[in-house]
Amino acid sequence: MEGIWRTPSGFFGALMSVDHKVVGRRYIVTAFAFLLLGGILAVLMRVQLAKPESTFLSADKYNQIFTMHGSTMMFLFAVPVMEAFAVYLVPLMVGTRNIAFPRLNAFSYWMFLFGGCFLWMSFALNVGPDVGWFAYVPLSSLQYTPTKRPDVWAQMITFTEVAALAVSVEIVVTVFKQRAPGMTLDRIPLFVWAMLVTSFLVMFAMPSIMVASTSLILDRLVNTRFYDSSSGGHPLLWQHLFWFFGHPEVYIIFIPGTGMVSAILATFARRPVVGYPVVILSLIATGFLSFGLWVHHMFVTGLPQLGAGLFTASSMLIAVPSGLQIFCWLATLWDGRPVYRTPLLFVIGFIVIFVMGGLSGVMVASVPIDTQVHDTYFVVAHFHYVLIGGAVFPLIGAVYYWFPKISGRMLSERLGRWNFWLAFVGFNVAFFPMHILGLIGMPRRVYTYTADMDWAHLNLLSSGGALIFALSFALLLVNVIQSLRSGTLAGDNPWDASTLEWATSSPPPPQNFDRIPVVKHRDPLWFDTESMPVVGGLSVERREVLLTSLAEAEPQVREASPEPSIWPLLTAIATTVFFIGSIFTPWAVLWGTPPMAVALIGWFWPAGHKEDEE
Amino acid sequence: MPVRMRTALVPFATLPLAACAGRQSALDPQGLQSNHILQTLFIFLIVAAVVWTAVVVVLCVGLLRRKRSADQPLALHQGFERTSGHVVFGLGLATLIIVLGLSIVSYAGQRTVFAKDEHALTLKIIGHQWWWEVRYEDDSPHQSFVTANEIRIPTGQPVKVELESADVIHSFWVPSLTGKMDLITGQKNELQFTAKNAGVYRGQCAEFCGLQHAHMAFAVFALSPDEYGRWRDHENQSATSPTDPLGKQGEQLFRARGCALCHTIRGTLAGGQLGPDLTHIGSRTTVAAGTLPMSSATLGAWIADPQHIKPGNNMPRMPLQSGELIALIHYLEQLK
């Protein structure tokens, strides 16, 4: 059985892998590599701003760097890393042998990798985008930025969106159709619920940015004039399309974080999360509401006053589902018996930081307040509190929590504590002063400022905090490397956690589970402490997964799962050539498609399973 | 408590070095609108502080309190489950009431801040990469004039600025007077504010607008109505021709060396439209949209090599002998 699910050996075998754990691991490592790169850019910016009129970076470099920082963190780190964890964990947590559409999954990873490398190679060649991660027109139009820089940005979006959409489809189908028998809707782990909601958000939000960025490329390449106000287009159209994606994007990053929090909290508070249905309904409500508040990014564009006021109310309303989740977590800690291991420390840090970010979010949702703080360092502080507090702290907690499962070895607790405290202190020292800087008049995206502005001391403090914060990530890296070399062996379930990924070995075998578990409780490993019931009947001769019904997870059919294949990689290469070519010439659409067609035909060529022909 | 900008109010006659300072802080309101906004902000801040403190206290108490001892994760106490359900529901309801209340507070503040006065003094401001064109328009063309990067307004009177862009999106922001408003290509926006006290209030572009976004500042001078009237009469006049030989040489150089292709000096043949109007440049307090304080030295440095001071801006470097540069500076400085 292990033999038929194993990734083929050798270099070419590795390129052919369709194992969700192999792809997931690559995804996680790649996303963290981009975090490292984006983090280095952040440190460079903080060095530049540490003193007034610094000449450390030129205006041109600084503008490229802040654009690259935002684009890397949003498109190449935050969204992919959450999807990466889902790719690795969701099939294990729902008790199946591989993700749905595993070849699409491999394709998704290659697209993400190539898109990210494309952006960073462009930056290395001094063609890094310099129009902000939001690329507002008309600044990003051909007239005002006649270089290829905005094209690089817009096409990188296409790469990462293709990758994200593919993963979302896989996650939804895996959760809907491949759950272990008995895992009814109300027994799905909260992390899986969070990733399900996130996947739907991706599917509804990302098309908006793809339309936006593709129209921008068309405007620049073949002069279509979607955004040209002198020809009947309008620059605000860009802002609407961008933020219709851009605001749900925040929740695409934050909701997986809440799933991680719920998973970690249950394990280390030693009890299930209070209010399981409340948490799920909050996730779904957050998902819906997140599409109704994009306009709060546009309060100073001269909108009608009543309309803007309504978006204030809808923006603040999202505090209700977020608040409900926080209350459930607080109640869980209140009743539980907390075990203070590193993952729990990061979750506690998350609550302290994220609540502050949420409250400053309520402030920026108010139109009059926003007219002062919009595009200032107050907003920079706010969204770093929300995104780092709400997503990165849970994520680092998740790394400490699931690393033993993925690698088979424990991370050091001693380094973990140092890591947490440096991150917590460094983060607050770096970002809290920015609230004040924004209120005393410092706008965002300025490469320098004069000494008489009174911003120097707080900027220096913030830069110092940023260095401490950066150090905490260096410690994480050291911890991971040390543990891979000589960490304590983890065993199947080192934390005595309750969900199915801990029911198999660490790291899990290629087939995940020798026998598919049968789920009789929301916390299967706490419920069946002795032995777990399993279901038999899947082939041991070829790759098969068990499909179950949507609501009750009744077994329905045995379904073949694809073998390893080189075609997803070849398709990704063909698509990459097509995408990159088409920012230089429209003819790339013509000569770029035949290789893609060939690759896709190869990919979908019938495999001719015996059973299919019967 | 608000962090006050320490910059003192400098009388604008004696400006030299602190010129580009002026107040630029939402916490130092000097206008009706900025004052209202700050009051709204304080209400939100108090609510936020109370909520955050409550959450952290509950978190700490929850972590530290004495716990049940058995390590049996699924042995839950039904009483707690029921009570916690009620408490979570109650807190959710409280959250809803708080955010609805704050929405109302916000909307009330918004109506005050954006209230319109029909009799407001109207100015037109056009954003350029990377400077501000300021047009004082009057029914009588003889009373209309153009200036740049400095706005003078009377205290106590509502001012309406009509905002447009000549190129990309910019944002007009004078935090000490009011919140910001974007200048959007192909769209007309407006913003009204009233300065309560006389003073110099610094503003800065708040929407990223390209390479030199960081160097796109301006200043609002709130003057007493009398002073404002005198200034307006003076500003409306054309430039006076120089009488001394050096000044005459400067005027001639201004035309001969291409300056006039982009800049206007009213009353002379210089009528370029691409760059700032320089009719009264000698009375301005900064060079290059708030980049440097005005002095012979900074003006000279700017003309000698604009790309060194503000790389990427649209003013080219003109080859000038040092004697010619001195004449040009002398001419511009006397355009008071």
The answer to whether B218 and B150 are in contact (CB under 8 A) is: yes
Neighbouring CB atoms inside 10 A of B169's CB total: 24
Inform me whether the pLDDT recorded for A90 exceeds 70: yes
Burial A307-344 (b: 16+ CB within 10 A, else e): ebbbbbbbbbbbbbbbbbbbbbbbbbbbbbebeebbbb
> Whats the size of chain A, residue-wise?
614
User: pLDDT tens digit string along A417-448?
Assistant: 999 999 999 999 999 999 999 999 999 999 99
Rounded Cα–Cα distance for residues B56 and A447 (Å): 36
Rounded Cα–Cα distance for residues B251 and B241 (Å): 8
Distance from the B163 Cα atom to the nearest Cα atom in chain A, whole angstroms? 10
Task: Indicate yes or no: CB of A372 within 8 angstroms of CB of B34.
Answer: yes
Task: Indicate yes or no: CB of A300 within 8 angstroms of CB of B171.
Answer: yes
Q: Determine which of B15, B30, B53, B63 to mutate to test the interface with A (most A C-beta atoms within 10 Å).
A: B63
CATH number for position A105 = 1.20.210.10
* Option in A367, A446, A454 nearest B214 (CB): A446
Distance from the A608 Cα atom to the nearest Cα atom in chain B, whole angstroms? 48
Task: Indicate yes or no: CB of B187 within 8 angstroms of CB of A300.
Answer: no
User: pLDDT tens digit string along A141-171?
Assistant: 999 999 999 999 999 999 999 999 999 999 9
Task: Indicate yes or no: CB of B187 within 8 angstroms of CB of A449.
Answer: no
Task: Indicate yes or no: CB of B186 within 8 angstroms of CB of A445.
Answer: no
Inform me whether the pLDDT recorded for A100 exceeds 70: yes
Using the structure block, give the residue that is written with the tokens 């970690």: A264
Using the structure block, give the residue that is written with the tokens 């400098």: B10
Inform me whether the pLDDT recorded for B12 exceeds 60: no
The answer to whether A312 and B108 are in contact (CB under 8 A) is: no
Residues of A in Cβ contact (< 8 Å) with B67: 335-337
Task: Indicate yes or no: CB of A440 within 8 angstroms of CB of B45.
Answer: no
Rounded Cα–Cα distance for residues B149 and A213 (Å): 35
Q: Which chain A residue has its CA at the smallest distance from B51's CA?
A: A359
Domain contains A30: yes
Dihedral angle of Cα A297, A303, A305, A309, to the nearest 10 degrees: -20
Residue B18 pLDDT: 38
Distance from the B83 Cα atom to the nearest Cα atom in chain A, whole angstroms? 10
**H or E element at residue A382:** helix A377-387
User: pLDDT tens digit string along A28-38?
Assistant: 999 999 999 99
Q: What is the mean pLDDT of residues A202-219?
A: 94
pLDDT-derived band at B22 (thresholds 50, 70, 90) equals low
Residue A526 pLDDT: 92
Higher-pLDDT residue of A533 and A194 is A194
A300: nearest Cα among B163, B252, B197: B163
- Sequence-distant (≥ 6) Cβ neighbours of residue A37 within 8 angstroms: A72, A120
pLDDT-derived band at A288 (thresholds 50, 70, 90) equals very high
Inform me whether the pLDDT recorded for A606 exceeds 90: no
Distance from the B45 Cα atom to the nearest Cα atom in chain A, whole angstroms? 8
Q: What is the mean pLDDT of residues B229-239?
A: 94
Q: How big is the A-B interface in CB pairs under 8 Å?
A: 274
**H or E element at residue A125:** none
SS3 assignment for A420-432: HHHHHHHHHHHHH
Rounded Cα–Cα distance for residues A411 and A403 (Å): 7
Inform me whether the pLDDT recorded for A387 exceeds 60: yes
Inform me whether the pLDDT recorded for B77 exceeds 90: no
Residues of B in Cβ contact (< 8 Å) with A293: none
Residue A530 pLDDT: 78
Distance from the B51 Cα atom to the nearest Cα atom in chain A, whole angstroms? 8
**Which ipTM did the prediction report?**
0.93
Domain contains A505: yes
Inform me whether the pLDDT recorded for B125 exceeds 80: yes
Residue B15 pLDDT: 35
Token digits of residue A601? 């035909």
Residues of A in Cβ contact (< 8 Å) with B43: none
Task: Indicate yes or no: CB of A372 within 8 angstroms of CB of B85.
Answer: no
The answer to whether A470 and A43 are in contact (CB under 8 A) is: yes
User: pLDDT tens digit string along A445-501?
Assistant: 999 999 888 899 999 999 999 999 999 999 999 999 999 999 999 999 999 999 999
Residue A169 pLDDT: 97
pTM over 0.90: yes
Homologous superfamily of the B17-61+116-225 domain (CATH): Cupredoxins -  blue copper proteins (2.60.40.420)
Higher-pLDDT residue of B19 and A138 is A138
Residue B11 pLDDT: 33
Q: Do domains B17-61+116-225 and B245-333 have the same CATH topology?
A: yes
Residue A529 pLDDT: 76
The alpha carbon of residue A160 and the mean position of all alpha carbons in its chain are separated, in whole angstroms, by 11
Q: What is the mean pLDDT of residues B6-11?
A: 33
Task: Indicate yes or no: CB of A63 within 8 angstroms of CB of B107.
Answer: no
Distance from the A219 Cα atom to the nearest Cα atom in chain B, whole angstroms? 16
Distance from the B30 Cα atom to the nearest Cα atom in chain A, whole angstroms? 13
Domain contains A4: no
Residue B175 pLDDT: 97
Domain contains A285: yes
Least confident of A92-96, B137-141, B182-186: B137-141
Domain contains A10: no
Q: What is the mean pLDDT of residues A186-195?
A: 97
Inform me whether the pLDDT recorded for A301 exceeds 70: yes
Distance from the A36 Cα atom to the nearest Cα atom in chain B, whole angstroms? 26
Q: What is the mean pLDDT of residues B210-225?
A: 96
Residues of B in Cβ contact (< 8 Å) with A319: 95, 98-99
Q: CATH for B245-333, among 3.40.50.970, 2.60.40.420, 3.30.420.40, 3.20.20.140?
A: 2.60.40.420
Q: Which chain B residue has its CA at the smallest distance from A269's CA?
A: B73
Residues of A in Cβ contact (< 8 Å) with B48: 356, 359-360, 362-363
Residues of B in Cβ contact (< 8 Å) with A313: 99-100, 103
Work out the end-to-end distance of chain A between its first and last CA atoms, rounded to an integer number of angstroms: 23
User: pLDDT tens digit string along B251-263?
Assistant: 999 999 889 999 9
- The structural domain count of chain A equals 1
Residue type, A84: A
Residue B2 pLDDT: 40
Inform me whether the pLDDT recorded for B21 exceeds 80: no
Inform me whether the pLDDT recorded for A611 exceeds 70: no
Residues of B in Cβ contact (< 8 Å) with A327: 87-88, 91-92
Residues of A in Cβ contact (< 8 Å) with B168: 136, 138-139, 144
Residue B114: C-alpha distances to residues A301, A315, B5, B103, B198 (Å): 13, 20, 26, 16, 22
Residues of B in Cβ contact (< 8 Å) with A350: none
Rounded Cα–Cα distance for residues B167 and B185 (Å): 6
Inform me whether the pLDDT recorded for B70 exceeds 60: no
Mean pLDDT (chain A) is 94
**H or E element at residue A326:** helix A319-335
Domain limits for position A60: 19-613
Inform me whether the pLDDT recorded for B16 exceeds 60: no
Residues of B in Cβ contact (< 8 Å) with A59: 211-212, 214, 311-312
- Proportion of chain B above pLDDT 90, given as a percent: 81
Beta-bridge partners for B170? B183
Residues of B in Cβ contact (< 8 Å) with A444: 206, 208
- Proportion of chain B above pLDDT 70, given as a percent: 92
**H or E element at residue B13:** none
Residue A536 pLDDT: 84
pLDDT-derived band at A539 (thresholds 50, 70, 90) equals confident
Residue type, A270: R
Inform me whether the pLDDT recorded for B9 exceeds 60: no
Residue B292: C-alpha distances to residues A459, B9, B20, B288, B299 (Å): 21, 18, 7, 7, 9
* Option in B56, B59, B71 nearest A270 (CB): B71
Q: What is the mean pLDDT of residues A562-588?
A: 94
- Sequence-distant (≥ 6) Cβ neighbours of residue A197 within 8 angstroms: A255, A283, A284, A286, A287
Q: Which chain A residue has its CA at the smallest distance from B207's CA?
A: A375
User: pLDDT tens digit string along B305-325?
Assistant: 999 999 999 999 988 898 999
Q: Which chain B residue has its CA at the smallest distance from A230's CA?
A: B186
Inform me whether the pLDDT recorded for A265 exceeds 90: yes
Task: Indicate yes or no: CB of B106 within 8 angstroms of CB of A452.
Answer: no
